[in-house]
Amino acid sequence: MFTLPPLPWAENALEPVISANTISFHYGKHHKTYVDNLNNLVKGTDYENATLEKIINDTAGKPDKAGLFNNAAQVWNHTFYWNGLRGNGGGKPSGKVAQMIDAAFGGYDNFKKELSATSVSQFGSGWGWLAVEGGKLKIMKTPNAEPPFIKGATPLLTIDVWEHAYYLDYQNRRPDYVNAVIDKLLNWDFAAENLGRA
Ligand SMILES: [Fe+2]
């Protein structure tokens, strides 16, 4: 059975950008509900002992498996999102990721503008992503529960732009939330780890 993975930091670790109150609902209610729903859906099926990635890849694009896909993908996405954030994070990365950002976007400022604009412009619920595909960095947005790997891109970092991610702290001001995450919370060590495995 699937379990809710522990957060990599205390619930108040992302304050003041994301409040402990938001984390408490987002992790303790939303993320947990995806885990509970997934466990109910896999009970007695071949997927009981499968990995999340296997379930997600098998069920992507299959309307009759939408419940399994959405819940498995949202469990995966949220764990990835938590690990991609940290207190005193954000700003300019260094090392290989920084070089690849310069190569792909012509510098950090352009990268930041594009990641922000793409994440803000996702219509309705979804995710903004920094991903790597064919050895090159790319910025993507995906609707609802979709992770980039079902389209062949390996994610490095993500920004949850579902309203539940920011509404308690920012109400309708999605751009303020997105920019604060980019400036103060992105965990570039996690991005470098993901790049190393890509
Ligand atoms: Fe979320």
Expressed in angstroms and rounded, the spacing between residue 159 Cα and the centre of ligand 1 is 9
Q: How far is the CA of 28 from the centre of ligand 1 (A)?
A: 11
Provide the CA 156 distance to its chain's centre, in angstroms. Answer: 9
Q: pTM for the whole thing?
A: 0.98
pLDDT for the residue 13? 98
What's residue 168's pLDDT? 98
Residue with tokens 């993975």: 5
Distance from Cα 80 to the centre of ligand 1, integer Å: 11
At 18-50, the pLDDT tens digits run: 999 999 999 999 999 999 999 999 999 999 999
The conformation of residue 90, written as its DSSP 8-state character, comes to -
Distance 20 CA to ligand 1 centre (A): 14
pLDDT at 198 over 90: no
SS (H, E, C) 39-85: HHHHCCCHHHHCCHHHHHHHHCCCHHHHHHHHHHHHHHHHHHHHHCE
Phi-psi region of 147 (alpha: psi -120 to 50; beta: other; left: phi over 0): beta
Give the list of residues 6+ apart from residue 67 with CB closer than 8 angstroms, or none. 37, 41
- Does the pLDDT at position 93 exceed 90? yes
Residue positions counted in the chain: 198
Query: Does position 146 have pLDDT exceeding 90, yes or no?
Result: yes
Percent of the chain with pLDDT over 70: 100
CA of 147 to the centre of ligand 1 (A): 13
